[in-house]
């Protein structure tokens, strides 16, 4: 399985966003995690299309757009147009999840499903064949800098097991509360796309990426 660190720009310094993305690219990172919040599905509001369109002009990274938005189907075309390479929607936010996934794929980008901590993996088992990635939220969606929910470890294992049984080989992404302590835990449980916000952006960005890269290589 190929491992990717996916820095979440929610924790970036927006005064220097372009510069910070360049630093990540120079460190050899391929994925950029982009958290869009609508103030309805989650309490907070982050940013939307204009920001993504701007950073797209200067970056060749893979734009992994995590929509924490009610009825995200309404915005698929917009996010593809402004540069998303992958769109993740929450199972809890879609009236017709299957149709939403289909629309994302029809729009020509990768499709992923996200699960809040309380949502069981069983609920989306029927769709595993149709998606490119499963995102298991390891905190309640909505804010950076929260603590990892310990029950998530078992959920990652369960998801891995279920995929094995169904013969599905898609990456599991984790998002929230990843730090020095929890990174080895999620890797061991079977996650391979690792979203990290504060762990990457707090302090020296380049140094943090190097340090995290070493831990990921070791595991
Ligand atoms: C939370 C977002 C996360 C967040 C992670 O709702 O989806 O991507 O930025 O932040 P940390 O890594 O600081 O927990
Ligand atoms: Zn996210």
Tell me the pTM. Answer: 0.98
User: What was the pLDDT predicted at 1?
Assistant: 75
How confident is the prediction for the chain on average, in pLDDT? Answer: 98
Task: Confirm if 24 and 59 have CB atoms less than 8 A apart.
Answer: no
User: How confident is the model over 101-134, as pLDDT tens digits?
Assistant: 999 999 999 999 999 999 999 999 999 999 999 9
Which of these is catalytic: 13, 35, 38, 179? 35
Instruction: Using alpha carbons, select from 97, 106, 107 the residue that is nearest to residue 128.
Output: 97
Q: Is 35 a catalytic residue?
A: yes
- Is 175 in the active site? yes
**Residue carrying the six token digits 């920001």:** 51
Q: Angle, nearest 10°, between helix axes 205-218 and 17-26? A: 40
Mean local confidence (pLDDT), 11-17: 98
Pocket of ligand 1 (CB under 6 A): 8, 10-11, 33, 35, 66, 139, 141-146, 175-178, 195-199
What pLDDT was estimated at residue 50?
98
pLDDT, tens digit, 9 for 90 and up, residues 72-102 = 999 999 999 999 999 999 999 999 999 999 9
Is beta strand 172-175 parallel, antiparallel or unpaired with respect to 193-196? Answer: parallel
Q: How far apart are CA 10 and CA 216, in angstroms?
A: 22
Mutate to test the pocket of ligand 1, among 35, 64, 208 (most ligand atoms within 8 A of CB): 35
Question: What would the mean pLDDT of 126-155 be, rounded to a whole number?
Answer: 98
């Amino acid at each position: 399985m190929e491992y990717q660190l996916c820095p979440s720009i929610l924790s970036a310094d927006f005064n220097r966003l372009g510069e910070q993305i360049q630093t990540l690219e120079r460190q050899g990172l391929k994925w950029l995690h982009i958290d869009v919040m609508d103030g309805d599905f989650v309490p907070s509001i982050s940013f939307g299309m204009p920001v993504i369109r701007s950073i797209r002009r200067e970056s060749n990274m893979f734009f992994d757009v995590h929509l924490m938005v009610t009825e995200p189907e309404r915005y698929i075309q917009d996010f593809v147009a402004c540069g998303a390479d992958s769109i993740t929607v929450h199972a809890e936010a879609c009236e017709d999840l299957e149709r939403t996934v289909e629309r994302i794929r029809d729009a020509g980008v990768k499709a992923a499903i996200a699960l809040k901590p309380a949502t069981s993996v069983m609920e989306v088992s029927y769709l595993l064949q149709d998606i490119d990635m499963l995102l298991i939220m390891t905190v309640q969606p909505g804010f950076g800098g929260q603590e990892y929910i310990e029950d998530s470890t078992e959920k990652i294992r369960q998801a891995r097991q279920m995929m094995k049984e169904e013969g599905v080989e898609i990456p599991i992404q984790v998002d929230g509360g990843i730090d020095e302590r929890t990174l080895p835990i999620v890797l061991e449980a079977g996650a391979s796309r690792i979203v990290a916000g504060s762990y990457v952006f707090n302090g020296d960005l380049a140094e943090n990426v190097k340090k995290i890269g070493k831990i990921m290589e070791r595991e």
